Amino acid sequence: KSGFPTSYIYIYLSYHSSAIAQMTFCLRTNPVGVQRNMSQSSLAGKVAIVTASTDGIGLAAAQALGKRGAHVVVSSRKQTNVDKAVALLQGQNIQVTGTTCNVGEGKEREKLVQMTLEKCGGIDILVSNAAVNPFFGNIMDSTEDVWDKILSVNVKSSFLMTKLVVPHMEKRGGGNVVFVSSVAGYQPMQALGPYSVSKTALLGLTRALAPDLAQSNIRVNCVAPGVIKTRFSSALWQNEDIMDEFKKQLSIKRIGEPEEIGGVIAFLCSDEASYITGETITVTGGINCRL
């Protein structure tokens, strides 16, 4: 027995049965339209900066955000790459602005933010995706220059970009920051020691920033991809011996696609994730990730 009067239960069931029937009818008659309406307008009016976004995961993130209605600002160090990405996104009816930017340089970061403000009127979302890896080998052979380069671009610039955009997010009532880490942040990959350490640092940066920025209605989250089929990770997925060994750790026996990361990033920036902050979502095909 429920403890509620029978008449209350009858009204409750009648109401919800009717609602479910209407929803079922709608999904049966136009399932694609319902999905499109739910996804394409969820970020309408938002402005999103995505660093290192002319290829791979960065471009996929720009596509996913743009398809949900955001005006995306893409960047790369080379103008030819920017032009190509802008043309691609415009061809998909995505609002896009592009510029060159080396996020490792302070003046370049400031230029990116200022250009976004001038052309788009504000900033709501930052996806910090830029990363470098100039070293491959035994970690004990890595040099001070290698560490300076990796930590400067992969970690320090992520924080400094956040620091630049936060005041502008506050003016718009809040926002979202997403860092792109890696499964290597949980389990360092052989021959990628310094890079792996930098990705672990992003997990900590996410947790450190989230409580303070929550007071300004800014959520901070992180995505840790596994091996994804991008140019950046081609040394891994093009090596059959490495991949055969790697796939033993996977539940889903394949490498990931950039779009599978872009969709998670867009989710984290949407209202559907409004109660999520300080978290890292691993998108790895089932690798057990734990620090």
Question: Tens digit of pLDDT per residue, the chain (291 long)?
Answer: 445 454 443 434 444 444 444 444 444 444 444 444 445 669 999 999 999 999 999 999 999 999 999 999 999 999 999 999 999 999 999 999 999 999 999 999 999 999 999 999 999 999 999 999 999 999 999 999 999 999 999 999 999 999 999 999 999 999 999 999 999 999 998 899 999 999 999 999 999 999 999 999 999 999 999 989 888 777 776 778 777 777 888 999 999 999 999 999 999 999 999 999 999 999 999 998 887
Please report the pLDDT score of residue 190 as a whole number: 85
User: CATH class for domain 41-228+257-283?
Assistant: alpha beta
Please report the pLDDT score of residue 85 as a whole number: 98
Known catalytic residue at 8: no
The Cβ of residue 231 has, within 10 Å, a number of other Cβ atoms equal to 8
Please report the pLDDT score of residue 239 as a whole number: 78
* Choice among 10, 186, 195, 275 that is catalytic: 195
Residue 60 · residue 259 · CB < 8 Å: yes
Please report the pLDDT score of residue 55 as a whole number: 95
* Beta partners for residue 176, in sequence order: 125, 219
Residue (of 153, 171, 273) closest to 222 by Cα position:
273
Contact partners, residue 147, CB within 8 Å, separation at least 6: 194
Please report the pLDDT score of residue 9 as a whole number: 38
Read off the amino acid at residue 267: F
The DSSP-derived string for 171-217 is HTT-EEEEEE--GGGTSPPTTBHHHHHHHHHHHHHHHHHHHHHHTTT
Please report the pLDDT score of residue 246 as a whole number: 78
Question: What b/e string do you get for 206-221 counting C-beta neighbours within 10 Å, with b at 16 or more?
Answer: beebbeebeeeebbbb
Tell me the pTM.
0.85
The DSSP-derived string for 123-164 is --EEEE--------B-GGG--HHHHHHHHIIIIIHHHHHHHH
